[in-house]
């Protein structure tokens, strides 16, 4: 069998196809470890620093293994990078990837739903979709660049687990999802994202089904996100907006069947009454972005009555859909529209109403090991219930069931909490790899980038603590001083929307003629493009910019981190996880808060150095790294950049580096 080292080495086909190619020892080291994991059927935990070339380091062994391998990424962007950049490169090297890309169902046009929408007439957006439908091979909505991915029409014409009929659909053979799944069945390498992987895993539970084909191995890239995504998929979520969408779709379907909507209006009123009472009972306070835990015992008295009223009203809506479908099958000639399309629509929406009732019951009933909470977001309320601990699910459904599993990211290790501990102890504890029953290889591969030469980590001691009233004023002044030094090119990353808005407001008028950008004032992609093109801009943003943002080159040369990104202690799921650790005799702060913050801080730091030629400053405005006992552990997880706590040292570094 060919080895990855032959292909990635200085004498391999990659070197002959690329000018100025140099093999990377770190990449070869990682590729050898992935090969062992696939051959010996074991688990590999591999932190691979930025610049390792980890994508090729796992793709080549996966292809050479001859096994059916699923590669799961955190984002569609990485999926597309693999499909559009890495796989064509491997084909030029003479490899046959036999790969297929699978995205979530909402990325594909549903022919049945599109035909249903056409019954109501073609508006301009639907006409665009109609024209594109005639030419597309994949049905991937990202192809239609003239219609934004967040346009409302996509919500009505894309596929979803709620709306698929399966083999009984009249469009099944020509369905884009069917085609995608057939390609995946025939492929040896299947590229998915974590959301799709766990959607598949959830379907293989009490009511077996599947999204992905059977596989021999899985490689998780950006594996630091696995716990949160798995928690989401093994939970349930019911929102007032979801109920309204289902009732709207039901109303449209029964209208096409010639039925009235009294039952639907009753369900809508019952929904409004339920959510209004729940918000009051849970003491949500009506605030935007509020989140509160909801205990099972609140669903008594009037709130219990409102829930039962809503469930009964949904049962009435379900009966309406089923009776309309029955009458439609007996009186097809009395309906001017396509009866098959209407009948299918009624069948799907009836199934969605039934699933909605089940989800609501699960969220309200709760159960051991679960936490339930209520979110307020804009005009919608959401009730969620999720497992507190997913480690057993990972152990049983992934590590004990899949022969070979590779987990990799630039941020997996958090350092050892105690002498002799694994640097992956936090990850192991969260994902069920602590009992020694599963063979695990661990590897930390340092970045090949020269951090001591190209990066300075600045942790000032003279700023107020982040919670102090004068912090924003002092921090904005220091940010302006740093931006004057670097001439902008800065990310200012905060841990909350409130801090983001406060710092953005305080920076106005302090940056000269440099552009001041704010997360939310434009789509994320548009903001990043403006930032790159400007070269001197300052962007203030929060959590979604701490990771997954790639700005190589001189456009980004300063990253300011407001404070250590600890979990919010009052968050219901964090609170429940803390309580679980306390029950086990552990210290939640040291076992949960500190290592998670270290990973997040490492992600924020990682925005700065993306190539060998990048250089700049990362500043952390949180003196707790100097004053608190956990500070050394947090700092130890970061890349080995030069350290400074005085502004004069930053000025010296910048003067030295700017003349290189």
| pLDDT grade for 285, boundaries at 50, 70 and 90 | low
**94: exposed, middle or buried (Cβ count in 10 Å: 0-12, 13-18, 19+):** exposed
pLDDT digits (tens, 9 = 90+) for 489-510: 999 999 999 999 999 999 999 9
| Residue 333 predicted with pLDDT over 50 | no
**What was the pLDDT predicted at 544?**
86
According to the model, what pLDDT value does residue 334 have? 46
**What is the per-residue pLDDT for 331?**
61
Q: Which two tokens stand for residue 402?
A: 């899949």
Residue 362 predicted with pLDDT over 50: yes
Which of these CATH numbers, 3.40.198, 2.60.120, 1.10.275, 1.10.287, describes 236-387?
1.10.275
183-211 tens-digit pLDDT: 999 999 999 999 999 988 877 655 445 78
Query: Cβ neighbours of residue 381 under 8 Å, at least 6 residues apart?
Result: 239, 240, 275, 278, 279, 284, 374, 375
pLDDT in the model for residue 659? 60
Please give the model's pTM, rounded to 2 decimal places: 0.89
Chain-centre distance for alpha carbon 156? 23
b/e string for 610-635 if b means 16 or more Cβ within 10 A?
beeebbbbbbbbbbbbeeeebbebbb
The CATH 3.40.50.300 portion of the chain extends over: 451-658
Amino acid 275: pLDDT = 94
Alpha-carbon distance of 182 to 270, in angstroms, equals 43
Q: Per-residue pLDDT for 228 more than 70?
A: yes
Residue 607, classified by CB atoms within 10 Å of its CB into exposed (0-12), middle (13-18) or buried (19+), is buried
Contact between residue 23 and residue 10 where contact means Cβ atoms under 8 Å apart: yes
8 A C-beta contact, residue 7 and residue 93 = yes
The whole-number pLDDT of residue 618 equals 97
Cα(57)–Cα(38) distance, integer angstroms: 13
Q: Which of 81-95, 97-111, 148-162, 217-231 has the lowest mean pLDDT?
A: 148-162
Looking at the predicted structure, is the pLDDT value of residue 21 above 80?
Answer: no
Say whether pLDDT at 110 is over 80.
Answer: yes
3-class SS shares of the chain: helix, strand, coil, % to 5: 50, 15, 35
Residue-level pLDDT at 209: 57
**What distance in Å separates the CA atoms of residue 470 and residue 504, rounded to the nearest whole number?**
15
Tell me which of 95-99, 191-195, 365-369 is least confident: 365-369
Q: Is residue 616 within 8 Å of 558, Cβ to Cβ?
A: yes
Q: Treating both helix axes as pointing N-terminal to C-terminal, what angle do 647-658 and 471-486 enclose, rounded to 10 degrees?
A: 20
Mean pLDDT of the chain: 89
Alpha-carbon Rg for the chain, nearest whole angstrom, is 27
Query: Cα–Cα distance between 520 and 542 in angstroms, integer?
Result: 10
Gap between the terminal Cα atoms of the chain:
46
pLDDT band at 24 (very low <50, low <70, confident <90, very high): confident
Describe the strand order of the beta sheet including 440-445 as a list of residue ranges: 99-101, 189-193, 69-73, 217-220, 404-409, 43-48, 440-445
User: From the centroid of its chain, how far is CA 594?
Assistant: 22
Separation between Cα atoms, residue 399 and residue 223, nearest integer Å: 14
Asked if 592 contacts 578 with a C-beta cutoff of 8 angstroms, the reply is yes
What is the Cα–Cα distance from 275 to 252, expressed in whole angstroms? 24
Structure confidence at residue 167 (pLDDT): 78
**Residue 399 in tokens:** 């590590």
Is pLDDT at 346 greater than 90 in this prediction?
no
Residue carrying the six token digits 């202690």: 569
Structure tokens at 630: 């956990």
Overall average pLDDT of the 483-492 stretch: 96
Taking every pair of Cα atoms in the chain, the longest distance, rounded to a whole number of angstroms, is: 85
Query: Using one digit for the tens of pLDDT, what is the confidence trace for 376-398?
Result: 876 789 999 999 999 999 999 99
Mean local confidence (pLDDT), 226-248: 92
Cβ atoms within 10 Å, residue 306: 21
451-658: which CATH topology? Answer: Rossmann fold (3.40.50)
Q: In terms of residues, how long is the chain?
A: 660
Q: Which residues contact 199 (CB under 8 A, 6 or more apart)?
A: 104, 161, 211, 233
CA 293 to chain centre: 23
Q: Do 151 and 163 meet the contact criterion of CB atoms below 8 Å apart?
A: no
pLDDT at 653 over 80: yes
DSSP state of 397: I
Residue 517 main-chain phi, psi, to 5 deg: -105, 150
CB distance 99 to 79 below 8 Å: no
Would you say 139 and 109 are in contact if contact means Cβ atoms under 8 Å apart?
yes
- H or E stretch including 39? helix 25-40
Please report, rounded to a whole number, the percentage of residues in the chain having pLDDT higher than 70.
94
Q: Topology of 4-98+390-445 in CATH? A: Rossmann fold (3.40.50)
Q: 3-state class of 240 per DSSP?
A: helix
**Over residues 594-599, mean pLDDT:** 94
């Amino acid at each position: 069998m060919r080895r990855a080292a032959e292909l990635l080495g200085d004498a391999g086909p990659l070197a002959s196809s690329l000018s100025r190619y140099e093999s990377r020892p770190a990449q070869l080291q990682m590729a050898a470890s992935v090969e062992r994991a696939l051959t010996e059927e074991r688990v590999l935990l591999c932190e691979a620093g930025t610049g390792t070339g980890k994508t090729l380091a796992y793709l080549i062994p996966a292809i050479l293994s001859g096994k059916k391998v699923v590669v799961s990424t955190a984002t569609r962007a990485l999926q597309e990078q693999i499909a559009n950049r890495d796989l064509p490169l491997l084909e030029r090297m003479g490899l046959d990837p036999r790969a297929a890309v699978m995205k979530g169902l909402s990325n594909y046009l549903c022919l049945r739903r599109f035909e249903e929408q056409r019954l109501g007439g073609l508006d301009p957006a639907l006409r665009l979709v109609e024209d594109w439908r005639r030419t597309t091979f994949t049905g991937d909505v990202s192809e239609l660049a003239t219609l934004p991915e967040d346009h409302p029409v996509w919500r009505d014409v894309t596929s979803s687990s709620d709306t698929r009929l399966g083999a009984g659909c009249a469009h099944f053979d020509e369905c884009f999802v069917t085609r995608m799944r057939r390609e995946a069945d025939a492929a040896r390498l299947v590229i998915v994202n974590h959301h799709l992987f766990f959607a598949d895993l959830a379907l293989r539970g009490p009511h077996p089904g599947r999204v992905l084909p059977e596989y021999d191995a899985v490689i998780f890239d950006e594996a630091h996100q696995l716990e949160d995504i798995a928690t989401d998929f093994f939970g349930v979520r019911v929102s007032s907006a979801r109920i309204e969408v289902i009732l709207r779709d039901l109303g449209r379907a029964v209208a096409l069947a010639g039925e009235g909507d009294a039952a639907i209006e009753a369900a809508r009123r019952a929904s409004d009454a339920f959510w209004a009472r729940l918000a009051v009972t849970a003491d949500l306070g009506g605030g935007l972005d509020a989140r509160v835990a909801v205990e099972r015992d609140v669903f008594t008295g009037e709130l219990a009555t409102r829930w039962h009223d809503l469930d009964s009203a949904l049962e009435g809506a379900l009966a309406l859909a089923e009776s309309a479908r029955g009458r439609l099958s007996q009186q097809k000639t009395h309906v001017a529209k396509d009866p098959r399309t209407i009948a299918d629509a009624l069948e799907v929406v009836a199934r969605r109403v039934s699933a909605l009732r089940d989800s609501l019951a699960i969220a309200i009933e709760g159960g051991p090991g679960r936490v339930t909470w209520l979110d307020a977001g804009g005009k919608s309320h959401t009730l969620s219930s999720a497992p507190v601990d997913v480690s057993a699910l990972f152990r049983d459904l992934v590590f004990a069931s899949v022969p070979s599993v590779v987990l990799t990211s630039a941020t997996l290790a958090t350092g050892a909490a105690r002498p002799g501990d694994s640097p992956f102890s936090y990850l192991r504890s969260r994902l069920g790899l602590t009992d020694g029953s599963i063979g695990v290889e661990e590897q930390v591969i340092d970045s090949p980038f020269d951090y001591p030469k190209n990066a300075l980590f600045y942790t000032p001691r003279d700023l107020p603590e982040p919670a102090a009233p004068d912090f924003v004023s002092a921090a904005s002044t220091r940010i302006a001083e740093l931006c004057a030094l670097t001439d902008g090119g800065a990310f200012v990353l905060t841990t909350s929307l409130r801090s983001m808005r406060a710092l953005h407001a305080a920076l106005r008028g302090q940056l000269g003629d440099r552009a001041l950008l704010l997360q939310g004032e434009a789509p994320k992609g548009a903001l990043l493009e403006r930032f790159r093109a400007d070269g001197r801009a300052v962007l203030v943003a929060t959590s979604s910019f701490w990771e997954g943002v790639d700005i190589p080159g001189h456009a980004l040369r300063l990253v300011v981190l407001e404070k250590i990104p600890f979990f919010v202690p009052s968050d219901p799921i964090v609170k429940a996880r803390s309580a679980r650790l306390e029950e086990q005799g552990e210290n939640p702060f040291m076992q949960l808060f500190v290592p998670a913050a270290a990973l997040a801080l490492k992600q924020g730091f990682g925005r700065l150095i993306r190539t060998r030629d990048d250089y700049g400053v990362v500043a952390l405005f949180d003196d707790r790294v100097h004053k608190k006992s956990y500070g050394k552990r947090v700092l130890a997880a970061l890349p080995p950049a030069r350290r400074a706590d005085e502004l004069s040292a930053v000025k010296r570094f910048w003067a030295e580096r700017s003349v290189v």
